[in-house]
Every structure is written in structure tokens, then in C-alpha cells.
Structure 1
């Protein structure tokens, strides 16, 4: 069975973050492609799906803000909040939030981030896609061959500002 890449944002770009579950909304139940969000859609998803989704979008924008990658358009925005509202996962962004396993043999993103150790271990068990993953500690792992990083889930308690800094340092080391 072929698994289609599906999620929010761009079909190729700088960063793809992979999470296990999509928002529990009818609008996305049959999502089979990478679809850019429209202005206000992150807020609509957060209102309809709960505080957890607001945290996911906030932490994603904070990662991009802290990363300050030279090839990312984040610098066109004054803050991570402005980026979240005006660009995150939209048609003019450079990132994706994907709900399908990474396809590392056909990379469309420079950096791949699997959010959540449990999800990463499930992917490794079910979809053997890398054999060069090295655990740096109990929360972070890296595969330098594929520019893949495993980090804590996109939640303030799990991926604090200190851990966002660590994630960004790892990503810069892969560049």
C-alpha cells in the first residue's frame, strides 16, 4: 500500500515536521496531499480542535523564529507570532506539517523533524526508513545522512524554549 504524503504547507521547502495525527476535523479527513493553509486557518483549527493545536502552531513558529535560517523568509516578519498569523504553512511559506511518514529516499525538504520520541520509534519499527539514526540523549536523535532530527513533541512542556534552542543548534549543524 502506497502512503501519500499529506499535510499542511508546501510540497517542498526548507523544513518538514512530521506528527502522527492530523486535526480531528471533517475538512481534513480525506487529505491526500500537502495543502497550504489560508490566512486565519491555523486559528480556526485551534478553535475547533483544542488548545493542543494552538500549541503545535505556536511552537512551530517559534522554531522557525529561533532557527533564523538564511534561506528562510522568517526575517520578513517582526516576530514568531506575526509569522504564524501571516505565513506559517501558507502558500508563500517554506515549510510543511506532515501527517505521513518521511520519504527520505526522495527528499523534498532540506530538514526533516519527527516530533515525538514515541512517534519516531513507531515509525522506525513500522517503516524502516533509516539505519543511521543516532540518539544524542533520551529526547533528541539525528540522522546526518538524511538531515533528520527527532525531537520532543510540539508542546511547551515537552519542547521548551531551551529545547527549541537545542533543536535549532542541531539543525544548523546539519547545514
Structure 2
């Protein structure tokens, strides 16, 4: 079943969706009206044109996916390293991953994980009408198990360090385990 159009980069039907506030500042991404699959080399082009912040975002996204438990998530089995995963799989057609710039479309009975990168962005989405019940675990992380929403620090090495990636992995595992028990 095809989901309603979402705006961003990656797999239109992804079950692992990361939401960020801003798009890459390149003309082809400013007018997106749906989710556009990346091609090999596109991530490198974004680094070159948009700066180090985008390189960090894609690196942290790939590191997080490759740190997940292979029994629960297929991402870690698709490449031998997070770098290879980033370059050969992340946000490509049928990758099951997306980087989105719009409001999450929540379906409580669905299988989709919604990860909002950044507390400020999460609060903005809530003010815009995001219908979920976030339970703040600390100043940086919040979770809504019913809607499978996780808020983490923004995808940057300083904000989402390796230690915080591991904490995120445990929270994502709890969301999946809850889904399996339902």
C-alpha cells in the first residue's frame, strides 16, 4: 500500500524516516513536492555545495542505522561499514530510509519509525499540530511509543555523539519490541 506523498530525500515508502527542518540549499531541492530517491554520488554533491553540516548529518544517519541490532533492523547487514552504507544505500530507491522536510504522517498501527532530529524542531512540529504524546526522557530525548516517534539531538557529531547514538539505538529497539508485542 502506497503512503501519502512526503517531501524529502530517499525512499517514498520508507519505514525509517528522519525529519529535519531545512533542505539542502541547492536549487533542485528547494522545489521538491515528493520524496526523491538519491543516486550514488548525490550525498557527496550535497557535501560539496552545502558544507560540512550536511556531511555530518549523513554520516550520523548512516552510523545510527549501522549501529542498530541486525535481528530487528536490516540496515546493518547491507554494508560492511557505515561509510559504505552511506555511499551505496542511504536514501536511495528501495533503501527503506528517508530524510524528510515536512510534517510526520503518523499512523499508530503502522510500522514506520519517525525520528525527529532536534528538540527545537520537535517542538516546532508540535506547535504546527503534530498529534503525538512525547514523553521527555531528558533535555534531548523524547519518545512516543504509540506513534513510534523518537526525538534525538540533531544529527551532528557534537550533539548526537557515539554515546548518544547508542542510547538512540536502545530507544529504537524498545519501539520495535513494542511493535512486535502488539
Bucket of the pairwise TM-score, normalised by the shorter protein: over 0.9
SS at match of 1:120: helix
Match of 2:87 in 1: 85
Following superposition, the deviation at residue 68 of structure 1 comes to: 3.3
Work out whether residues 112 and 147 of structure 1, in 8 Å CA contact, stay in contact via their aligned partners in 2: yes
- State the number of aligned residues: 172
Given candidates 101, 107, 110, the residue that maps to 1:105 is: 107
Partner of residue 74, structure 1: 76
1:73-106 C-alpha deviation (Å, 9 max, x unpaired): 4313100000001111011311100000101038
Q: Deviations over 1:132-165 (max 9, x none)?
A: 2100001000000011000000000000000000
**Alpha-carbon RMSD:** 1.7
Residues 11 and 108, structure 1, Cα contact 8 Å, conserved in 2? no
> Unmatched 5+ residue regions in structure 1?
none
- Rounded to whole Å, the distance in 2 between the matches of 1:41 and 1:98 is 16
Tell me how far apart the structure 1 counterparts of residues 99 and 107 of structure 2 sit (CA, whole Å): 19
Where does structure 2 lack aligned partners over 5 or more consecutive residues? 177-182
Aligned counterpart, 1:95: 97
State the alpha-carbon separation in 1 of the partners of residues 128 and 138 from structure 2.
Answer: 22
Q: Greater shift after overlay, 89-98 or 39-48?
A: 89-98
TM-score, length-normalised on structure 1? 0.92
What are the within-5 Å matches in structure 2 for residues 1-175 of structure 1? 5-70=6-71, 71-105=73-107, 110-130=112-132, 132-175=133-176
Query: Is 1:13–1:108's contact at 8 Å kept on the other side of the alignment?
Result: no
- Whole-Å separation in 1 of the counterparts to 2:164 and 2:84: 22
